[in-house]
Amino acid sequence: MKKYAVLEKNQVTNIIVATSKENAEAATSSVCIEVAEDVLIEIGYFYSNGQFLQDEPEA
């Protein structure tokens, strides 16, 4: 099942691009982006409080 996240206009977020969960856990950097318009991105894992989660973390 594919998962998606909405990045709202002017929202700033960090994104780690990796080919697997293991590669993402070993990543030492991420890309910070600010979007000019609302966009929908496909995601593999959410990252919160130092852990990769299968589902979106509670707000």
Is the four-CA dihedral 36, 41, 45, 46 of positive or negative sign?
A: positive
Q: Which residues pair with 24 in a beta bridge?
A: none
pTM for the structure as a whole: 0.31
Residue 57 pLDDT greater than 70, yes or no? no
pLDDT digits (tens, 9 = 90+) for 7-56: 677 776 666 666 666 776 676 666 666 777 777 776 666 666 666 666 66
Half-sphere exposure of 17 (CA within 13 A, CB side): 4
* Per-residue confidence (pLDDT) for residue 58, from 0 to 100: 64
* Per-residue confidence (pLDDT) for residue 22, from 0 to 100: 72
* Per-residue confidence (pLDDT) for residue 9, from 0 to 100: 74
